[in-house]
Amino acid sequence: MTLTLTVGAIINTLFLASMYILIALGFALLFSIMEILHVAHGVIYMLGGYICYSLSVTLGINQWLSLVLTVAIVCCFGPVLEKFFFRPFFRDFDRTLLVGIGISTIIETTMVLSKSNEAQSLRAFATGILKMGPVSVSNERLVTFLIGALLLVAVIWLIHGTKIGLQMQAVGQDLEASLLQGINIHRISALACVIACGLAAVAGSLLGAYMGLGPFMGDFVFQKALVLVVLGGIGSIGGIFLAGLVVGGIDAFLPLFISGSAASALAIGIVIVVLLLRPRGFFGREMGF
């Protein structure tokens, strides 16, 4: 493998890792920390991308401002999610799963019916290409990477460094004990949902600019986010960082050696083997059930 290819693959790894981490963060906050299975994360991600599109392309608002507005708008879905889709089925995984699927189906179908255009995309958040020797990266990917890294650090700080984060962890680890401690479960859950929606909105907008928009663009999100969370370990956001690098690395290097679908098959195979050897993932805690 030539130097260019190797360097390119390393850069791709970093970028893919940041991309996967970006989409997994919101999902991880809910599932990893609070044990709420948010299957509709992909749909919120998609809606975030489309809302940003409506603001920036259709209405002509500055794209960065649109991003901020999108986050604000999508965050409002958070309490709605918590009250109507999570609270009635607290800890009932089957139903949370099915409700998420039901909602996703309805929203995706609505999007398909209301769009007749085949390709839509947000404009790049940053234009230009950065060249440093054999390395050539577009500023767009750089910006996405930086924002992803920033958000990861922010979420880790939130979970481990703030009182709210500790409360979230408590709810996830031991519900009864948290109640005894006087933690308001519903308020914490709602807050987590708000943050998760905001994260999904950012991911949707950034990746909507990088990869284009589509009603089914959120379909791969659930699978990728789940891989990252399970591999990283439930209960650990830092684990997601490592898992993101591993999965990103696999996805960046394997297609260079193996063609086509075989690369995807091998990638998932590697994940399964790792999980069989260490079901807890990298830094996960033991699940109580």
Partner 1 sequence: MSDAVSSTRDEKRGSRFAPLAAVVLIVLLLAAIPLLTDSPYLLHVINLTFLTILAAVSFRTIIISGQFPLGHAAFMGIGAYSSGMMAKWLGWSPWITIPLGTLVATCVGIIIGYPFSRLRAVYYAMVSLFFGIAVVQIINAGGVWSGGYSGLTGIPPLMGFSKTPYYYLFLIVTFVSLLVLYRFETCRVGTTWKAVAQSYLIASSVGVNEAFYRVYALAVGCFFAGLSGALYAHYNFTIGTSSFDFVATMMFLMYGVVGGMFSFVGPILGTALLVLAPEVARGLKQYVPYISAGILLIVVYGMPQGLIGLPGMIKRLFTGHRKDGAGRAYHAS
Partner 2 sequence: MQSKRRLHSFWFAVAVVAVAFFVFGSVASQAAEPKKIRVGLLVGLTGWFSVPGNIELAECRTAAEMVNDRGGITIKGGKYMIELVPEDMKSTNEGTTAAVNKLIYDDKVQFIVGPSAFWGPASAPLCEANKMINVLGYCANTPGELDKNTPHRILAEDGTMGHTYALIKFIKKNHPDVKSVAIVNADDGSIPYVKPLIAKALQENGISVAGDWVLFANEMVDFSPIASKLAALKADAIFHPNGIDRHVGPILKGLRELGDNRWYFYAGVSPCSNIKTLAGAGATKVVSLAPTPGAPGNPPQLEEFIKRYFARSKQGAALIIQNSSATYVLPQILQAAQSLDANDILKALPRMSNFETLWGPGHMGGERTYGIKHAVVHPLPSQYLDDKGVQKFGGWITDVEVP
Give least dist CB 55 to partner 2, A.
17
Give least dist CB 33 to partner 1, A.
15
2 vs 259 by CB, closer to partner 1: 259
Distance CA 163, CA 146 (A): 26
Decide: 228 and 247 in contact? Cβ < 8 Å.
Answer: yes
For partner 1 (CB under 8 A), the number of binding residues is 40
Contacts 24+ apart (CB under 8 A), 82-91: 82/186, 82/189, 82/190, 82/192, 82/193, 83/186, 83/190, 85/40, 86/36, 86/38, 86/189, 86/193, 87/186, 87/189, 91/35, 91/175
Question: Does 87 help bind partner 1 (rule: CB under 8 A)?
Answer: no
Question: Does 92 help bind partner 1 (rule: CB under 8 A)?
Answer: yes
162 vs 223 by CB, closer to partner 2: 223
Find the part of the chain contacting partner 1 (CB under 8 A) among 118-126, 162-170, 178-186, 220-228.
Answer: 220-228
Query: Which parts of 76-184 fold into alpha helices (H)?
Result: 77-80, 93-114, 139-161, 163-173, 175-180
123 vs 278 by CB, closer to partner 1: 278
Distance CA 272, CA 279 (A): 9
Give least dist CB 220 to partner 1, A.
11
Give least dist CB 260 to partner 1, A.
6
DSSP H or E stretch at residue 181 = none
Residues in contact with partner 1 by the rule CB under 8 A? 88-95, 97-99, 101-103, 105-106, 108-109, 112-113, 223, 226-227, 230, 234, 260-262, 264-265, 268-269, 271-272, 275-276, 279-280, 287, 289
